[in-house]
């Protein structure tokens, strides 16, 4: 009986590594150039920002005044020194009884520096200047926005007092009473609370149901 024939095992074939089409010298060189350019642009922008910051700080420290404030607002947007320049310009406009210009500057500050620690104060000042300029509708809108902000604005009680004053001027006594009662109930601990309480106490008595009945 003949011995069974053996079938030689197939030798394993080792495949040569395949380089992905994108992993070639030309592509890698392009990627390197793009990344290098991006880093260079970032470093240039950072250096420029630091230069502008230093220049604007020096200007504000060495040449304070309206001309410097105007230059900072015009030529150095977004810089910390520019934020102070806007506030100082607004305060000067207010001292000159130019409420409309002051309101516009405070609005500019709020728009350009929304995360600044003084943004809440600037918004409250904007509302006050709008009221002083006679734009009562715009002032009431800003006061309401302050009152409804979350987290609560530090000037919430002051805004309620400002809103109530405008409502009283418009003979909307009951609306003012509601605003003042709500802010006093909130007991915010604000320095404006005594003023709110005094306003409420000086309002005429609330109408009773009997007085609201139509005459027969």
Structure tokens at 118: 């003084």
- pLDDT number for residue 13: 58
pLDDT over 90, % of the chain: 61
Of the ranges 41-45, 105-109, 153-157, 171-175, which one carries the lowest mean pLDDT score? Answer: 41-45
| 81 closest CA partner among 92, 68, 90 | 68
- pLDDT number for residue 151: 87
Q: Tens digit of pLDDT for each residue in 92-110?
A: 999 999 999 999 999 999 9
- pLDDT number for residue 53: 82
- pLDDT number for residue 181: 96
Range 19-36 average pLDDT: 55
- pLDDT number for residue 174: 96
pLDDT band at 46 (very low <50, low <70, confident <90, very high): very low
Residue bearing tokens 């950072």:
46
- pLDDT number for residue 56: 87
- pLDDT number for residue 61: 85
Higher pLDDT, 157 or 58: 157
pLDDT band at 62 (very low <50, low <70, confident <90, very high): confident
Q: Tens digit of pLDDT for each residue in 109-161?
A: 999 999 999 999 999 999 999 999 999 999 999 999 999 998 888 999 999 99
- CA atoms in the 13 A half-sphere facing the CB of 198: 7
Q: In whole angstroms, what separates CA 113 from the centre of its chain? A: 6
pLDDT band at 42 (very low <50, low <70, confident <90, very high): very low
């Amino acid at each position: 009986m003949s011995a069974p024939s053996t079938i030689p095992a197939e030798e394993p074939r080792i495949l040569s590594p395949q380089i992905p089409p994108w992993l070639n010298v030309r592509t890698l060189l392009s990627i390197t150039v793009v990344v290098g350019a991006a880093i260079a642009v970032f470093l240039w922008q950072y250096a420029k920002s630091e230069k502008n910051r230093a220049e604007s700080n020096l200007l504000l420290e060495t040449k304070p005044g309206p001309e410097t404030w105007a230059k900072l607002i015009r030529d150095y947007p977004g810089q910390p020194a520019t934020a102070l320049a806007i506030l100082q310009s607004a305060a000067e406009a207010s001292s000159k009884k130019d409420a409309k210009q002051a309101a516009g500057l405070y609005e500019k500050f709020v728009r350009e520096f929304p995360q600044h620690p003084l943004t809440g104060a600037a918004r409250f000042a904007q509302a006050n200047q709008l009221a002083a300029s006679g734009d009562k509708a715009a002032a009431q809108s800003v006061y309401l926005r302050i009152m409804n902000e979350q987290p609560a604005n530090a000037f919430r009680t002051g805004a309620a007092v400002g809103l109530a004053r405008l409502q009283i001027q418009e003979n909307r006594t009951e609306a003012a009473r509601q605003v003042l009662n709500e802010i006093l109930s909130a007991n915010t601990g604000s320095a404006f609370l005594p003023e709110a309480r005094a306003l409420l106490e000086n309002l005429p008595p609330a109408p009773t149901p009997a007085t609201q009945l139509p005459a027969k």
